[in-house]
Amino acid sequence: MPVSQSLHLSVDCVVFGYDNNGIKVLLINQKGIPSDNTHQPLTQLPGDLILMNEGLQQAAERVLFDLTQLRGVYLKQFHAFGDPNRVKDLKDRAWLQSVRHLPDQRVVTIGYYGLVSLQDFHPRPASFARSVQWADLGEIGQLAYDHNNILDQAFEALREQMESHHISFELLPKKFTLTQLQSLYEVVLDKKFDKRNFRKNVKKMTHVIPLDEKQTGVTHKPAQLFSYNPHK
């Protein structure tokens, strides 16, 4: 019986970055392969094989760090992708042959997504990432493997989480103004909200707590900062 004796398992991280100009995604560019000029280095999500003794969540965090040096991003599992041919595409062959011992092996991957404030997280490439970029969600070209699909489903998951108001506040910046929170909602859900109504709703959420602290360095009335208490 041909069971899953030899199957690779990976994690892929879809890290959304947020500032006042919209939503971006963290992508890495593969290193070129020195002795191969047929290889077009592709862009992909940060992801790699898991190690034998680490948990899945742990693997996602490690892989994200290994490739982009980001730490402390809250990652949430959203889906496993296991099409037997998901890494068999021609465009991906040269690269896989250069980085894997068994490049033809089937790879099942577990997708994680996260959301960070662009001001707080500054990725730097490492390992097999030649470079790292925050790419605009609207302007993503072809990615390696089935990563366009993974990205779409990750964004869908993020959106659903916000819509259902089951917000993991782990996904949000630690300190924020209500205007920032509102425009995050607006850009993710692609909807406008009324400022006063939005604030009324936030005040009902007992896990959103006002701090004794104000914005500084702004050229207008400084806003109150808020934080969240995940244990509520």
Per CB under 8 A, the list member of 34, 55, 138, 141 interacting with a second copy is 55
Per CB under 7 A, the list member of 130, 174, 195, 207 interacting with DNA is 195
Amino acid (1-letter code) at residue 144: A
| Residue 223 found at the interface with DNA (CB under 7 A) | yes
| Residue 209 found at the interface with a second copy (CB under 8 A) | no
DSSP secondary structure letter of residue 169: G
Partner residues linked to 39 by β-bridges: none
Per CB under 8 A, the list member of 14, 15, 42, 50 interacting with a second copy is 50
Q: What track of x and - describes contact with DNA for positions 61 through 100 (by CB under 7 A)?
A: ----------------------------------------
Per CB under 7 A, the list member of 80, 201, 211, 213 interacting with DNA is 201
Contacts with a second copy by CB under 8 A: the residue count is 35
Burial of 231 (0-12, 13-18, 19+ CB in 10 A): exposed
Q: What is the largest CA-CA distance in the chain?
A: 70
Strand 22-30 relative to strand 76-81: parallel, antiparallel, unpaired? unpaired
Q: What track of x and - describes contact with a second copy for positions 143 through 182 (by CB under 8 A)?
A: -----------------x--xx-x----------------
Question: What SS3 class is residue 228?
Answer: strand
- How far are the Cα atoms of 49, 100, 139, 204 from residue 9, in angstroms, in the given order? 6, 13, 29, 42
- Which residue, among 37, 3, 14, 7, has the nearest Cα to 100 in the 3D structure? 7
Residues with Cβ < 8 Å from 27, sequence gap 6 or more?
43, 44, 45, 46, 132, 133, 134, 135, 140, 143
| Residue 37 found at the interface with a second copy (CB under 8 A) | no
Residues forming contacts to a second copy in the complex (CB under 8 A) are 1-10, 49-56, 59, 77, 79-84, 101-102, 106, 108, 110, 160, 163-164, 166
Q: Which positions lie near DNA, rule CB under 7 A?
A: 177-179, 194-197, 199-201, 216, 218-224
